[in-house]
A and B are shown apart, each in its own frame.
Chain A
Amino acid sequence: MAIDVKKELGQAKVEQRMVYESGNEMAAYAAHQINYHIMGYFPISPSTEVAQFLDLMKTNGQHDIVLIPADGEHGSAGVCYGASTAGGRVFNATSANGYLYMLEQMPVQSGTRFPMVMNLVCRSVSGPLDIHGDHSDLYYALNTGWPILMCRDPQAVYDMNIMALKLAEDPEVRLPVIVASDGYFTSHQKRRVQTFAHREDVHKFVGEKPPAGFPMTLDRNNPITVGPYMNEPDYINNCYQQSMAMYRAGDVFDRIRKEYADLTGRDYPILDLYRMEDAEVAVFLMNSASEIIKDVVDQLREKGIKAGSIAPNMIRPFPAKQIAEALKNVKAITVGDRADSYGGHGGNMVNEIKAALFTHGNKDTLVISRIYGLGGKDFYAEDGHNLFQFAIDAAAKGYVEKPFDYYGHTPGDPAKAPKRVLEPMPYESLKTGLITVTPDEETGKLNVRIPPLRSLTKKPKRLAPGHGACPGCGIFSGLELFFKGIEGDIVALYHTGCAMVVTTGYPYSAHKATYIHNLFQNGAATLSGVVEMFWERKRRGELDEFGLKDDFTFVMITGDGGMDIGMGPAIGAALRNHKMIILEYDNEGYMNTGAQLSYSTPMGHRTSTSNVGKHQGGKTFHHKDTAQIMAATHIPYVFTGSEAFPQDLLKKAAKAQWYAQNEGMVYGKILITCPLNWLSEDQDGSNIVEAAVNSCFFPLYEVEHGVTTLTYNPEEKNKKIPLGDWLKMMGKTKHMGKPEYEAALKSFEGEVERRWNILKAKHENPYL
Chain B
Amino acid sequence: MVSLPKMNELGFFEIRLESIGGLGANLAGKMLAEAGVMGVGLNGVSFSSYGSEKKGSAVKAHIRFCDIDTNIRDTSPIERPHVVGVFHEQLAKTINVISGIYEDSTVLVNSTKSPDELKDKLKMIGGTLAVVDATGIALEEKNRVNMAMLGGLFRLCEFLDPEFMKGVIRKSLEKKYPQAVAPAIRTFERGYNEVQFKTFALPEGQSMPAFTRHDTPVLGYETQPIGGTITNPGNSILKDLSISRAGMMPHFADDKCIHCAACDNVCPDFCFVWEELPDKKGRSQMFLQGIDYQYCKGCLKCVQACPTEALSSAREEDGYAEQHRVPHRFALAQ
CA of A409 to CA of B221, assembled, Å: 7
Binary flags per residue of B295-315, CB closer than 8 Å to A gives 1, else 0 = 101111101110000000100
Residues of B within 8 A of A682 (CB): 298-301
Interface residue B54 (Cβ < 8 Å from any Cβ of A): yes
Residues of A within 8 A of B264 (CB): 453, 457
| Chain-A contact segment, one of B67-75, B81-89, B136-144 | B67-75
| Chain-B contact segment, one of A104-112, A204-212, A414-422, A520-528 | A414-422
Residues of A within 8 A of B47 (CB): 22, 184, 188-190
In the complex, are the beta carbons of A506 and B270 less than 8 A apart? no
Q: Within the complex, what minimum Cβ distance (angstroms) separates B256 from chain A?
A: 16
CA of A22 to CA of B46, assembled, Å: 9
CA of A413 to CA of B269, assembled, Å: 31
In the complex, are the beta carbons of B222 and A414 less than 8 A apart? yes
In the complex, are the beta carbons of B69 and A4 less than 8 A apart? yes
Residues of A within 8 A of B214 (CB): 378
A410-B217, A643-B266 known; A464 vs B50 contact (CB < 8 Å): no
Residues of A within 8 A of B46 (CB): 189-190
CA of A419 to CA of B332, assembled, Å: 11
CA of A423 to CA of B329, assembled, Å: 12
Which single member of A2, A185, A453, A515 contacts B233 (CB below 8 Å)? A515
Which single member of A380, A418, A510 contacts B236 (CB below 8 Å)? A510
CA of A418 to CA of B229, assembled, Å: 11
Q: Within the complex, what minimum Cβ distance (angstroms) separates A30 from chain B?
A: 20
In the complex, are the beta carbons of A454 and B261 less than 8 A apart? yes
Interface residue B235 (Cβ < 8 Å from any Cβ of A): yes
CA of A536 to CA of B321, assembled, Å: 51
CA of A509 to CA of B230, assembled, Å: 7
Which single member of B21, B220, B234, B265 contacts A410 (CB below 8 Å)? B220
CA of A332 to CA of B219, assembled, Å: 34
Residues of B within 8 A of A292 (CB): 73-76
Q: Within the complex, what minimum Cβ distance (angstroms) separates B68 from chain A?
A: 7
Interface residues in B44-72 (C-beta closer than 8 Å to A)? 44-48, 50-57, 68-69, 71-72
Which single member of A455, A467, A481 contacts B269 (CB below 8 Å)? A467
In the complex, are the beta carbons of A422 and B52 less than 8 A apart? no
Interface residue A471 (Cβ < 8 Å from any Cβ of B): yes
CA of A414 to CA of B224, assembled, Å: 10
A381-B74, A505-B51, A508-B239 known; A464 vs B234 contact (CB < 8 Å): yes
Interface residues in A411-433 (C-beta closer than 8 Å to B)? 411-414, 416-423, 425-426
Q: Considering only CB atoms and an 8 Å cut-off, how many residues of chain B contact the other chain?
A: 97
Residues of A within 8 A of B216 (CB): 410
Residues of A within 8 A of B33 (CB): 20, 190
Interface residue B218 (Cβ < 8 Å from any Cβ of A): yes
In the complex, are the beta carbons of A295 and B304 less than 8 A apart? no
Interface residues in B258-313 (C-beta closer than 8 Å to A)? 259-262, 264-272, 274, 276, 285-286, 288, 292, 294-295, 297-301, 303-305, 313
In the complex, are the beta carbons of B300 and A414 less than 8 A apart? no
In the complex, are the beta carbons of A509 and B233 less than 8 A apart? yes
- Nearest-neighbor residue (CB-CB) of B241 within chain A: A466
In the complex, are the beta carbons of A2 and B72 less than 8 A apart? yes
Residues of A within 8 A of B75 (CB): 182, 185-186, 189, 288-289, 291-292, 379
CA of A351 to CA of B292, assembled, Å: 56
Interface residue B210 (Cβ < 8 Å from any Cβ of A): no
Interface residue A361 (Cβ < 8 Å from any Cβ of B): no
In the complex, are the beta carbons of B73 and A294 less than 8 A apart? yes
Interface residues in A360-381 (C-beta closer than 8 Å to B)? 377-381
Residues of A within 8 A of B303 (CB): 683
A457-B261, A643-B266, A686-B301 known; A506 vs B53 contact (CB < 8 Å): no
Question: Interface residues of B: mostly helix, strand, loop or mixed?
Answer: loop
Residues of A within 8 A of B7 (CB): none
In the complex, are the beta carbons of A411 and B227 less than 8 A apart? no
In the complex, are the beta carbons of A465 and B328 less than 8 A apart? yes
In the complex, are the beta carbons of A184 and B50 less than 8 A apart? yes
CA of A258 to CA of B219, assembled, Å: 49
Q: Within the complex, what minimum Cβ distance (angstroms) separates B221 from chain A?
A: 6
Q: How large is the interface on A (under 10, 10 to 19, 20 to 34, 35 or more residues)?
A: 35 or more
| Chain-B contact segment, one of A214-222, A244-252, A496-504, A622-630 | A496-504
In the complex, are the beta carbons of A502 and B332 less than 8 A apart? no
Binary flags per residue of A282-306, CB closer than 8 Å to B gives 1, else 0 = 0000001101101100000000000
| Chain-B contact segment, one of A388-396, A472-480, A551-559, A657-665 | A472-480
Interface residues in A49-83 (C-beta closer than 8 Å to B)? none
Binary flags per residue of A675-697, CB closer than 8 Å to B gives 1, else 0 = 11000001111110000000000
CA of A597 to CA of B259, assembled, Å: 40
CA of A413 to CA of B232, assembled, Å: 17
- Nearest-neighbor residue (CB-CB) of B250 within chain A: A683
CA of A186 to CA of B73, assembled, Å: 11
A418-B225, A471-B298, A477-B267 known; A466 vs B236 contact (CB < 8 Å): yes
- Nearest-neighbor residue (CB-CB) of B331 within chain A: A423
In the complex, are the beta carbons of A419 and B333 less than 8 A apart? yes
In the complex, are the beta carbons of B54 and A470 less than 8 A apart? yes
CA of A477 to CA of B68, assembled, Å: 52
Residues of A within 8 A of B235 (CB): 418, 421-422, 464, 507-509
Q: Within the complex, what minimum Cβ distance (angstroms) separates B333 from chain A?
A: 4
Residues of B within 8 A of A474 (CB): 268
- Nearest-neighbor residue (CB-CB) of B272 within chain A: A457
Residues of B within 8 A of A412 (CB): 217-224
Interface residue B330 (Cβ < 8 Å from any Cβ of A): yes
Q: Within the complex, what minimum Cβ distance (angstroms) separates A45 from chain B?
A: 8
Residues of B within 8 A of A2 (CB): 71-73
CA of A522 to CA of B76, assembled, Å: 35
B-side residues, CB < 8 A to A, are: 10, 21-22, 30, 33-34, 37-38, 43-48, 50-57, 68-69, 71-77, 79, 213-225, 227-228, 230-239, 241, 244-246, 259-262, 264-272, 274, 276, 285-286, 288, 292, 294-295, 297-301, 303-305, 313, 328, 330-334
Q: A411-B220, A458-B274, A505-B53 are in contact. List 20 more A-B contacts (CB 8 A).
A: A46-B50, A132-B50, A189-B45, A291-B74, A294-B71, A294-B73, A295-B71, A418-B231, A466-B238, A470-B54, A470-B297, A471-B245, A475-B268, A476-B270, A477-B267, A477-B268, A481-B265, A506-B228, A515-B233, A685-B301
13 interchain pairs, CB-CB under 8 A: A189-B75, A190-B46, A192-B43, A289-B75, A377-B215, A412-B219, A423-B333, A457-B288, A470-B21, A507-B218, A507-B230, A512-B234, A675-B299
